[in-house]
C-alpha cells in the first residue's frame, strides 16, 4: 500500500477505536484502491477516500418493548447512512445479539461498493439492533419491530433510505415494520424491500442472494471451462442465503453436503436433495428449529456440534470442489482456508458478507483459487431489492422469469466489471481487487460530480 493510502487507513482506525470489523473492511478496500489512486490524482485532491470512510450520518436510538410476561426490555437500534452518491441509502437491517456500531459500519461500507456494482441507482447503508429474535414469540417480535420502526420511520423513506432484511430479519419482521411505518406515515410506499408478494414484494427477492451467488459462481467456473454439474459443494448457514444457494446448486446438477447454524453443522454425503431442502425450509422458516434436527430425520447425515476448544471449523475440512460460506463474517479463518486449499478447492463464492479473514483471502488468491468476495457474489439480493423499488415506483409487478433474467444479467455484468477492473489494475483473477475497484470508480466519479458534500 502506498503512503497516502496507509495514512488514510490508519487515521480511520484511530478515529474509530474498538471497531475491528470496520477496520478490516476499510483496510481490504483501501489496499485494492492503492492500485488505482495514483492514476487518478483528482480523487486524492478531493479527499474521496477520506470522505468514503466517514458515514454521512449515524443514528442510534433506544428501542423499549414489553415481552409476553409483561417484562420491559431495552434494546439499541442503529442506522448507518454511509454514502448516497448513487441513490437513496439501501442496505439491510440485522437483528442479532452481536450487533454493534462497528459491525454495522463494516456492513454499510461494504454495501456502498456492492450497490455500485449492481449498476442500479442505490447508495449504501445498514442498520439493525442487538435484539435476538431467537426464542421470542411472534407477538414479542411484533412489539419489538413496532417500537424499532417508531423511531426509524423518522430517518427513512422511499427516496431517502430503503432498508431490507439481513440476519434475523426475514419476511415476518419486514411485514411488522412495514405495517408500523404505514400506520405512522399514513402512506403505502416502497419504504422497505423484501415485502410479502401480496403487498408490494418482488418475485425472486427471497431467492435472489443465493441464486445470485450461484450465478456468479457459474460465471467464474466458465472462465476455466467448467460448470457446477457434478461438483460437490460446502454451504454454511441454513438461513435465507444458504437455502436458496442449495436450491440453485441442485437445479444446476451440483451436490451440497453441508449446512450449519450457530450450534453446529450437518454433513450429508448423499447430498441435500430438494425434498431435504424443503424440510430445512420448514424447520428454519416456520418451526424456527435447529439444524441438529436434520440428522435425526435423515440418519445418513452426521451432526457435529460446535466445539469451542477447536481453533478451526471442521465444516471447511471436508473435501469438496466449491464452497459457499453463507452464515456470517469471519467464519473462515486462516486454518479453515488452509484446509480448503489442501483439499484442492476450485472455487469459493461468498454468500455472507466478509466471511473470510484477510489472511484466508490472501491464501486463496495466492493459490489461484477462484475467489469471489461477498460484495460481488452476494449482490443479487440488493439488486432484486432495487428491482422491487422500480416495480413499486411503477405500481407494476414483473413475472418470475423477468426478474430472474434481470438478476442473471446483473450477476453476469458484475462478473464482467470485476474481471475488467482486475485486468486493468491488478491480476485478471483477483476478484477482490476487481470488485473493490469497479465498485469504487462509479461512486468516486459521482462524488466528484456532486461537489464537496
Q: Using the rule CB under 6 A, is 163 a contact of ligand NDP? A: no
Q: Which of 46, 25, 42, 33 is nearest to 6 (CA)?
A: 33
Stretch that binds ligand NDP, among 36-44, 59-67, 162-170, 365-373 (CB under 6 A): 162-170
Q: Using the rule CB under 6 A, is 254 a contact of ligand NDP? A: no
In the three-class reduction of DSSP (H, G, I as helix; E, B as strand; rest coil), residue 329 is classed as coil
Contact residue for ligand NDP among 19, 21, 161, 166 (CB under 6 A): 166
Stretch that binds ligand NDP, among 78-86, 322-330, 339-347, 444-452 (CB under 6 A): 322-330
Q: Using the rule CB under 6 A, is 280 a contact of ligand NDP? A: no
Closest-CB residue for ligand NDP?
A: 239
Q: Residues binding ligand NDP: what is the number (CB under 6 A)?
A: 23
Q: What's the grid cell of residue 59?
A: 443514528
Give 348's contacts (C-beta < 8 A, 6+ positions apart): 322, 323, 324, 325, 340, 356, 364, 369, 370, 371, 372
Minimum gap (Å) between residue 308 Cβ and ligand NDP: 12
Q: Using the rule CB under 6 A, is 362 a contact of ligand NDP? A: no
In the three-class reduction of DSSP (H, G, I as helix; E, B as strand; rest coil), residue 162 is classed as strand
Of 88 and 374, nearer to ligand NDP (C-beta) is 374
Number of Cα atoms under 13 Å in the Cβ half of residue 17: 0
Could you give the residue numbers annotated as active site? 126
Contact residue for ligand NDP among 129, 218, 378, 429 (CB under 6 A): 378
Give 328's contacts (C-beta < 8 A, 6+ positions apart): 167, 237, 352, 355
Q: Using the rule CB under 6 A, is 27 a contact of ligand NDP? A: no
Minimum gap (Å) between residue 252 Cβ and ligand NDP: 20
| Binding track, positions 339-358, relative to ligand NDP; x by CB under 6 A | ------------xxx-----
Q: Using the rule CB under 6 A, is 392 a contact of ligand NDP? A: no
Q: Using the rule CB under 6 A, is 167 a contact of ligand NDP? A: yes
The sign one gets for the Cα dihedral 12, 124, 95, 27 is: negative
Of 165 and 386, nearer to ligand NDP (C-beta) is 165
| Distances, alpha carbon 39 to alpha carbons 34, 42, 44, 277, in Å | 10, 9, 10, 49
Q: Using the rule CB under 6 A, is 83 a contact of ligand NDP? A: no
Sheet holding 258-261, edge to edge: 258-261, 264-267, 302-305
Contact residue for ligand NDP among 87, 88, 127, 168 (CB under 6 A): 168
Q: Which of 366, 380, 364 is nearest to 415 (CA)?
A: 380
Number of Cα atoms under 13 Å in the Cβ half of residue 361: 24
Q: Using the rule CB under 6 A, is 124 a contact of ligand NDP? A: no
Largest distance between two CA atoms of the chain: 63
Contact residue for ligand NDP among 91, 237, 254, 360 (CB under 6 A): 237
Q: Using the rule CB under 6 A, is 262 a contact of ligand NDP? A: yes
238 — phi, psi (to 5°)?
Answer: -150, 25
* Binding stretches for ligand NDP (CB under 6 A): 165-168, 170, 209, 237-242, 261-263, 326-328, 351-353, 378, 381
Amino acid at each position: 500500500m502506498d503512503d497516502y493510502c496507509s495514512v488514510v487507513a490508519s487515521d480511520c482506525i484511530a478515529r474509530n477505536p474498538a471497531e475491528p470489523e470496520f477496520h478490516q473492511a476499510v483496510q481490504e478496500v483501501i489496499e485494492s484502491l492503492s492500485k488505482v489512486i495514483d492514476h487518478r490524482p483528482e480523487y486524492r485532491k478531493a479527499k474521496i477516500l477520506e470522505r468514503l470512510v466517514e458515514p454521512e450520518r449515524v443514528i442510534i436510538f433506544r428501542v423499549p418493548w414489553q415481552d409476553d410476561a409483561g417484562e420491559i426490555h431495552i434494546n439499541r437500534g442503529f442506522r448507518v447512512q454511509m454514502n448516497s452518491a448513487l441513490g437513496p441509502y439501501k442496505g439491510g437491517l440485522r437483528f442479532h445479539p452481536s450487533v454493534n456500531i462497528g459491525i454495522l459500519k463494516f456492513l454499510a461500507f461494504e454495501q456502498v461498493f456492492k450497490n455500485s456494482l449492481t449498476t442500479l441507482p442505490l447508495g449504501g447503508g445498514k442498520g439493525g439492533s442487538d435484539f435476538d429474535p431467537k426464542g421470542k414469540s411472534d407477538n414479542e417480535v411484533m412489539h419489538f419491530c413496532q417500537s424499532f420502526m417508531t423511531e426509524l420511520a423518522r430517518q427513512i423513506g422511499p427516496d431517502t433510505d430503503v432498508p431490507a432484511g439481513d440476519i434475523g430479519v426475514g419476511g415476518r419482521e419486514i411485514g411488522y415494520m412495514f405495517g408500523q411505518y404505514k400506520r405512522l406515515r399514513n402512506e403505502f410506499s416502497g419504504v422497505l424491500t423484501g415485502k410479502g408478494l401480496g403487498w408490494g414484494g418482488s418475485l425472486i427477492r427471497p431467492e435472489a442472494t443465493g441464486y445470485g451467488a450461484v450465478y456468479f459462481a457459474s460465471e467464474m467456473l466458465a472462465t476455466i471451462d467448467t460448470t457446477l454439474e457434478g461438483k460437490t459443494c460446502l454451504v454454511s448457514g441454513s438461513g435465507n442465503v444458504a437455502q436458496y444457494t442449495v436450491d440453485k446448486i441442485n437445479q444446476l446438477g451440483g451436490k451440497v453436503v453441508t449446512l450449519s447454524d450457530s450450534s453446529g453443522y450437518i454433513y450429508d454425503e448423499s447430498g441435500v436433495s430438494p425434498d431435504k431442502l424443503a424440510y430445512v425450509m420448514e424447520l428454519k422458516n416456520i418451526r424456527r428449529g435447529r439444524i441438529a434436527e436434520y440428522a435425526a430425520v435423515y440418519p445418513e447425515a452426521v451432526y457435529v456440534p460446535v466445539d469451542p476448544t477447536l481453533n478451526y471449523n471442521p465444516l471447511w475440512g471436508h473435501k469438496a470442489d466449491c464452497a459457499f460460506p453463507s452464515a456470517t463474517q469471519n467464519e473462515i479463518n486462516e486454518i479453515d482456508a488452509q484446509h480448503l486449499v489442501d483439499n484442492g478447492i476450485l472455487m469459493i463464492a461468498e454468500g455472507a458478507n466478509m466471511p473470510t479473514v484477510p489472511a484466508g483471502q490472501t491464501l486463496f488468491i495466492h493459490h489461484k483459487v477462484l475467489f469471489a468476495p461477498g460484495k460481488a457474489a452476494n449482490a443479487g439480493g440488493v439488486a432484486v431489492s432495487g428491482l422491487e423499488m422500480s416495480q413499486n415506483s411503477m405500481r407494476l409487478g414483473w413475472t418470475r422469469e423477468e426478474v430472474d433474467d434481470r438478476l442473471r444479467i446483473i450477476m453476469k455484468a458484475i462478473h464482467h466489471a470485476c474481471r475488467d477492473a482486475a485486468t486493468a489494475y491488478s491480476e485478471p483473477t483477483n476478484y477482490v481487487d476487481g470488485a473493490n475497484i469497479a465498485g469504487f470508480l462509479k461512486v468516486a466519479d459521482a462524488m466528484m460530480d456532486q461537489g464537496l458534500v
